[in-house]
């Protein structure tokens, strides 16, 4: 069998492409959210979020081969309806990202509050359906009423942690102006926001597991049980420790919260845990046993994610 027709290759590619899709989606979500809520936190990380959001068109192109190989990746995917829905999501997201592209180019764009509210509603609507189409559908018999919101919060947390890491860590790869005349650091606000999203993600993930466990229906729980077999349970435990316990412990320390570089480092750690969480979610759908570290299903998504971040760092403003 040629490598181009390898099922393992396309499974690995899909994991990476879906991870990148979540990254740009989360950036759009946070930009619209900040337009509605305001706050110093958004001004500090706005350059990084704009850089991510303006890559939406490129992320759509990266995703395009996934629609062409949907029959390999999704056993029940309709050859016409699945690509059509994916095209609809991406067209909507590219349209929503277009004002931010103008802003990043230097033009002053004042997005009306009502337009921001409508845009956020559209993002939640399309994100929910995309989550079921692209992620939950990896498990043909999966049932979850929480998953759509869980996916949205997970992508927002990924983009938030990456934006904070780029803005506060790595020597200030993306530098934005703080809007407080006192010159007070915004790191405490960003640490609080990180904690909020981490706790919300953990709450929704726990709620999903609790509902499935309480229902105790084999036909609905069999897909979920696969996440805790074949060595995948160790990956899940690692995600719980790295993505929940460690951030909670570190971001509760005042000495860390007051130092931007340390908050940025914790944010980078959370972003890495988001990648591990995504592999833990998609992996059991394609392999009941955890593959070796050098397996293509680990390495290709990792290379794609690292390459994307490297591009973001290169495109981030530094003034």
Quick: pLDDT tens for 125-139.
999 999 999 999 998
The domain segmentation of the chain, as residue ranges, is 9-176+185-315
Does position 225 have pLDDT exceeding 60, yes or no? yes
pLDDT score for 162: 95
Region 262-280: mean pLDDT is 94
Q: What sign does the CA torsion over 18, 115, 203, 268 have?
A: positive
Q: Annotate the chain with three-state secondary structure.
A: CCHHHCHHHHHHHHHHHHHHHHHHHHHHHHHHHHHHHCCHHHHHHHHHHHHHHCCHHHHHHHHHHHHHCHHHHCCCCCCCHHHHHHHHHHHHHHHHHHHHHHHHCCCCCCCCHHHHHHHHHHHHHHHHHHHHHHCHHHCCCCCCCCHHHHHHHHHHHHHHHHHHHHHHCCCCCCCCCCCCCCCCCCHHHHHHHHHHHHHHHHHHHHHHHHHHHHHCCHHHHHHHHHHHCCCHHHHHHHHHHHHHHHHHHHHCCHHHHCCHHHHHHHHHHHHHHHHHHHHHHHHHHHCCCCCCCCCHHHHHHHHHHHHHHHHHHHHCCCC
Confidence of residue 178 (pLDDT cuts 50, 70, 90): very low
Residue 233 — very low, low, confident or very high, per pLDDT cuts 50/70/90? very high
| pLDDT score at 181 | 41
Would you state the pLDDT for residue 82?
A: 93
Q: Is the pLDDT of residue 179 over 80?
A: no
pLDDT of residue 287: 87
Closest CA relative to residue 58, chosen from 80, 34, 27: 27
Q: Which of 31-35, 72-76, 147-151, 199-203 has the lowest mean pLDDT?
A: 72-76
**% the chain with pLDDT above 90:** 59
pLDDT at 163: 94
Report the pLDDT value the prediction gives residue 171, as an integer from 0 to 100.
62
Whether the pLDDT of residue 94 is over 90: the answer is yes
% of the chain with per-residue pLDDT over 70: 91
The contacts found for 253-256 with CB under 8 angstroms, 24 or more apart, are 256/191
For 9-176+185-315, CATH gives 1.20.1630
Which comes out higher in pLDDT, residue 75 or 54? Answer: 54
Kindly report which listed range (48-52, 170-174, 187-191, 241-245) carries the lowest average pLDDT score: 170-174
What is the model's pLDDT at position 203? Answer: 96
């Amino acid at each position: 069998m040629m490598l181009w027709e390898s099922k393992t290759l396309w499974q690995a590619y899909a994991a990476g492409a879906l991870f990148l899709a979540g990254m740009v989606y989360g950036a759009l979500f946070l930009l619209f959210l900040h337009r509605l809520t305001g706050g110093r936190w958004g001004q500090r990380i706005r350059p990084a979020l704009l850089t991510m959001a303006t890559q939406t068109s490129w992320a759509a192109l990266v995703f395009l081969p996934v629609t062409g190989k949907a029959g390999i990746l999704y056993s029940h995917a309709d050859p016409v309806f699945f690509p059509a829905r994916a095209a609809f999501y991406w067209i909507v997201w590219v349209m929503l990202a277009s004002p931010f592209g103008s802003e990043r180019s230097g033009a002053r764009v004042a997005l009306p509050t009502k337009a921001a509210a409508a845009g956020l509603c559209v993002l939640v609507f399309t994100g929910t359906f995309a989550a079921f189409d692209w992620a939950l559908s990896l498990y043909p018999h999966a049932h979850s009423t929480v998953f759509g919101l869980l996916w949205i919060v997970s992508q927002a947390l990924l983009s938030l942690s990456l934006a904070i890491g780029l803005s506060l860590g790595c020597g200030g790869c993306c530098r934005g102006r703080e809007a407080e005349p006192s010159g007070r650091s915004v790191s405490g606000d960003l640490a609080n926001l990180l904690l909020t999203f981490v706790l919300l993600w953990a709450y929704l993930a726990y709620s999903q597991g609790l509902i499935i466990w309480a229902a105790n229906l084999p036909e609905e729980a069999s897909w979920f049980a696969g996440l805790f077999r074949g060595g995948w349970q160790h990956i899940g435990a690692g995600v719980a420790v790295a993505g929940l316990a460690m951030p909670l412990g570190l971001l509760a320390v005042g000495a860390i919260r007051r130092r931007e570089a340390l908050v940025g480092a914790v944010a980078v750690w959370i972003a890495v845990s988001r990648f591990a969480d995504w592999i833990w979610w998609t992996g059991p759908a394609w392999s009941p046993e955890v593959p070796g570290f050098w397996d293509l299903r680990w390495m290709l998504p990792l290379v794609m994610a690292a390459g994307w971040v490297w591009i973001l760092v290169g495109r981030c403003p530094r003034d």
